[in-house]
Amino acid sequence: YRRLSARIGKQKAVTATARKIAVLFYNAIRHGMTYQDQGAAAYDERHRQRVLSNLQRRAKTLGFALAPIPETAAVS
């Protein structure tokens, strides 16, 4: 919701989030699945990986290569 509201506005984000929850609920009931909450940390990690892969793909199309910063240099 927070990411959507920043991008498309609060009213549309509420509607989109409600629809997403409704579709998940419908599919769970329809197929007899049980709900297993992955937690916010898992969602944030998936989002981080998606952003990272998008950045790497974009850098590659521009002719660059991304390299991770060593941990000791990142702290300073």
Instruction: Enumerate the domain spans of the chain.
Output: 1-35, 38-66
Q: Read off the pTM.
A: 0.49
Cα gap 4→10, rounded to integer Å: 8
Alpha helices (H) in 9-39, listed in sequence order = 10-31
What percent of the chain is predicted at pLDDT more than 90? 50
Tens digit of pLDDT for each residue in 29-67? 999 888 777 888 888 899 999 999 999 999 999 999 988
Cα gap 8→2, rounded to integer Å: 10
In terms of C-beta density within 10 A (0-12 exposed, 13-18 middle, 19 or more buried), how is residue 41 classed? exposed
What average pLDDT score do residues 16-21 get? 94
**Which of these ranges, 9-18, 52-61, 64-73, has the smallest mean pLDDT?**
64-73
pLDDT value of residue 72: 73
Which residues have CB under 8 Å from 3's CB, separation 6+? 47
